[in-house]
């Protein structure tokens, strides 16, 4: 029955899209999407879509003009979505779960990665061999309450360390995180690429635990884990389902293109905005966990919720259903109708 409703929804939506008369320019509409933090590989599909000019094509065809707004971390980006300052956010499922616990109706729409697109690094001269030895030390994260903060806590907990015994330092986006690392404001850091690969390759950091691969993620969580994707508010879905579908379509198309190029990271690097400066090595390190089509895996959602409960970041009494957290109708329709 659920699949029948999804197909019916998709058919009605597709007919609505086709009903726009040819030759009539669509009215312009600005759509704001929050990113936090910007310029990290966890949001690779965003920058690939920009490089392939998919958003420009969307604007010409529909009048929808997408503007990305950078925030210090995922927590700030999710807050901007909750308050209505933006229409969508490309952050993590954890923010949907936490918002739902507080009565804020955010919905996860599609997945970018099924592995945590981040890793833990330590200063090269810090004498630790296991995360249990990080207790009492300073661990850098993008922002407090962010996915990197939760990941740092989970790594400590997995290795039987007390996650509350470490000091977590908000280091912000890549430029401020790099500055904090260079001035040794932190002893370790959980962060995303390209910063992780850059620091490790130049000998300025030691790779301590890699969660960028499916293997590393499954070892830590016992299953795939949704690290990043697209989310919005429930009222946006009700008010503008056509808009939601168009944005989801762009990302499903982008993920399919990335899937086709997964053995050629140099091709992926070549379409990215030049100011990013991401090398094929940076991209190759993160392709293992990339979603093939944006589909949200129920087992990955369960893993996220369970890990939040286990880490003491979510009440054990809060047991949200998959349907409460995820609206998968749009990605299902995109998978059926979008061509690469």
Looking up residue 6, the CATH number of its domain turns out to be 3.40.190.10
Which of 177, 210, 243 marks a domain boundary?
A: 210
Overall number of domains in the chain: 2
- Whether the pLDDT of residue 236 is over 50: the answer is yes
Tell whether 87 and 162 lie within a shared domain: no
- Whether the pLDDT of residue 11 is over 70: the answer is no
pLDDT tens readout for residues 129-154: 988 899 999 999 998 888 899 899 98
Domain range holding 132?
119-210
Tell whether 26 and 111 lie within a shared domain: yes
pLDDT tens readout for residues 265-286: 999 999 999 999 899 999 998 8
Share of the chain above pLDDT 70, in %: 92
* Residue 26 domain flag: yes
pLDDT band at 293 (very low <50, low <70, confident <90, very high): very high
For residues 340 and 105, what is the distance between their CA atoms, to the nearest angstrom? 32
Q: Largest alpha-carbon pair distance within the chain?
A: 67
Tell whether 135 and 270 lie within a shared domain: no
Tell whether 321 and 239 lie within a shared domain: yes
Mean pLDDT of 159-167: 93
Tell whether 292 and 162 lie within a shared domain: no
**Which is more confident, 184 or 22?**
184
For residues 185 and 140, what is the distance between their CA atoms, to the nearest angstrom? 8
Tell whether 333 and 229 lie within a shared domain: yes
Q: How high is the pLDDT of residue 9?
A: 52
Omega within 30 of 0 (cis) for the link into 37:
yes
Which of 175, 210, 245 marks a domain boundary?
A: 210
Bridge partners, residue 113, by sequence: 228, 290
* Residue 220 domain flag: no
Tell whether 239 and 273 lie within a shared domain: yes
Which of 210, 241, 261 marks a domain boundary?
A: 210
Tell whether 164 and 239 lie within a shared domain: no
Instruction: Work out the mean pLDDT of the chain and round it to a whole number.
Output: 90
For residues 157 and 147, what is the distance between their CA atoms, to the nearest angstrom? 15
- Whether the pLDDT of residue 264 is over 60: the answer is yes
Tell whether 45 and 30 lie within a shared domain: yes
* Residue 131 domain flag: yes
Least confident range from 25-29, 120-124, 224-228, 263-267: namely 25-29
Tell whether 233 and 196 lie within a shared domain: no
pTM for this prediction: 0.82
Tell whether 94 and 136 lie within a shared domain: no
Return the closest-CA partner of residue 139 out of 160, 158, 155, 115: 155
């Amino acid at each position: 029955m659920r699949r029948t409703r999804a197909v019916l929804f998709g058919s009605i939506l597709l007919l609505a899209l086709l009903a726009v008369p040819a030759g009539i320019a669509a009215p312009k509409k600005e759509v704001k999407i929050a990113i936090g933090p910007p310029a990290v590989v966890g949001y690779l599909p965003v920058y690939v879509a920009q490089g392939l000019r998919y958003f420009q094509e969307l604007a010409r065809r529909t009048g929808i003009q997408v503007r990305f707004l950078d925030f210090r971390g995922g927590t700030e980006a999710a807050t901007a979505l909750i308050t209505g300052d933006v229409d969508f956010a490309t952050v993590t499922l954890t923010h949907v779960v936490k918002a739902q616990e507080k009565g804020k109706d955010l919905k996860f729409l599609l997945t970018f990665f099924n592995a945590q697109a981040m890793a833990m690094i330590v200063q090269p001269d810090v004498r630790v061999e296991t995360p249990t030895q990080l207790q009492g030390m300073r661990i850098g994260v993008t922002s407090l309450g962010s996915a990197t903060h939760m990941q740092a806590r989970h790594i400590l907990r997995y290795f039987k360390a007390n996650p509350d015994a470490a000091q977590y330092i908000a280091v912000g986006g890549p430029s401020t995180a790099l500055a904090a690392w260079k001035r040794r404001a932190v002893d370790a850091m959980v962060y995303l690429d390209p910063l992780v690969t850059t620091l490790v390759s130049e000998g300025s950091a030691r790779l301590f635990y890699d969660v960028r691969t499916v293997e590393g993620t499954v070892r830590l969580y016992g299953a795939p884990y949704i690290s990043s994707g697209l989310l919005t508010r429930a009222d946006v879905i009700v008010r503008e389902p056509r808009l939601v579908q168009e944005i989801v379509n762009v990302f499903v198309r982008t993920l399919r293109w990335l899937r086709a190029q997964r053995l050629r990271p140099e091709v992926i690097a070549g379409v990215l905005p030049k100011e990013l400066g991401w090398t094929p090595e940076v991209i190759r390190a993160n392709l293992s966990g990339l979603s093939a089509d944006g589909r949200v895996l129920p087992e990955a959602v369960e893993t996220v919720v369970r890990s939040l409960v286990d880490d003491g970041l979510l009440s054990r009494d809060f047991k949200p259903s998959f349907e409460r957290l995820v609206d998968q109708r749009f990605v299902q329709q995109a998978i059926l109708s979008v061509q690469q």
